[in-house]
Amino acid sequence: MERFRNRQKGGFTLVELALVLVIIGLLITGVLKGEALIQNAKVKNVVNQKDSVTAAFYTYYDRYNYYPGDCNVANIPVQGHTDPGNLNGQIDANLERSVLFQDLVLAQIINGGYTGAAGNYPTNAFGGQMYIQYLGVPPGSAVALNANCIIMTAIPADVAQQIDSKYDDGVYNTGTIRSDTVYTNTAIKTMYWRM
């Protein structure tokens, strides 16, 4: 009886400990893998948002022969609406940038409550703003883009670099995708994506 009692006081066997460690390892791996999947989904969402906004921008142009926000023709896109645009083909940083998304909503190309007020822009997957503006020389670059660009704020440095490497040349200040600072600087980025 004494021998039986001593056996019950013993600890875990090596097999039981190994099983517990394997289960803990699987749980940690699952959590880390889940975080990576969420991050990759956000990256894909940013790219999809860019593609959707580009498609809406050019759909408006195909329909009305003017860029949204840049038009100042009465009743385009709807009766009684006139934009403050100057018809130069460039989305200026002033009122044109602000009313662009309102025009897309009024033309029923996109949904949303965009009123044309300054700062009333869509939000990207990382919580920053997304808007379209003509850029000559973006910050951090010596070479002008000279095009209407989609600008996204509050993009993490590693995400900006991942997008630039996958869809362009991977260098922060060259190509059609640019950033306001080098990717090795881990501060959040503003990305400039030539349309």
pLDDT at 20: 85
CB atoms within 10 A of CB 121: 21
Domain boundaries, the chain: 16-194
With 70 as the cut, is the pLDDT of residue 185 above it?
Answer: yes
Q: How confident is the model at residue 183 (pLDDT cuts 50, 70, 90)?
A: very high
pLDDT at 142: 72
Backbone φ and ψ for 88, nearest 5 degrees, come out as -95, 5
Q: List C-alpha distances in Å: 131 to 22, 24, 45, 103, 192.
A: 48, 45, 16, 13, 10
36 Cβ partners below 8 Å, 6+ apart? none
63 Cβ partners below 8 Å, 6+ apart? 77, 107, 109
Q: What is the pLDDT of residues 137-172, one digit of tens each?
A: 877 777 789 999 999 999 999 999 999 999 999 999
Q: What is the pLDDT of residues 76-109, one digit of tens each?
A: 999 888 888 999 999 998 789 999 999 999 999 9
Full-model pTM? 0.81
Q: What is the pLDDT of residues 122-146, one digit of tens each?
A: 999 999 999 999 998 877 777 789 9
DSSP notation for the chain? -HHHHHHHT----HHHHHHHHHHHHHHHHHHHHHHHHHHHHHHHHHHHHHHHHHHHHHHHHHHHSS-TTT---TTSSSTT------SSSS--TTHHHHHHHHHHHHTTSS-S---S-TT---B-TTS-BEEEEEESS-TT-SS---EEEEEEEEE-HHHHHHHHHHHS-S-TTSSSEEESS-TTS-S-EEEEEE-
34 Cβ partners below 8 Å, 6+ apart? none
d(CA 57, CA 104): 8
Q: What is the pLDDT of residues 7-57, one digit of tens each?
A: 556 677 888 888 888 888 888 877 767 777 888 888 999 999 999 999 999
With 70 as the cut, is the pLDDT of residue 3 above it?
Answer: no
Residue that wins the pLDDT comparison between 66 and 31 = 66
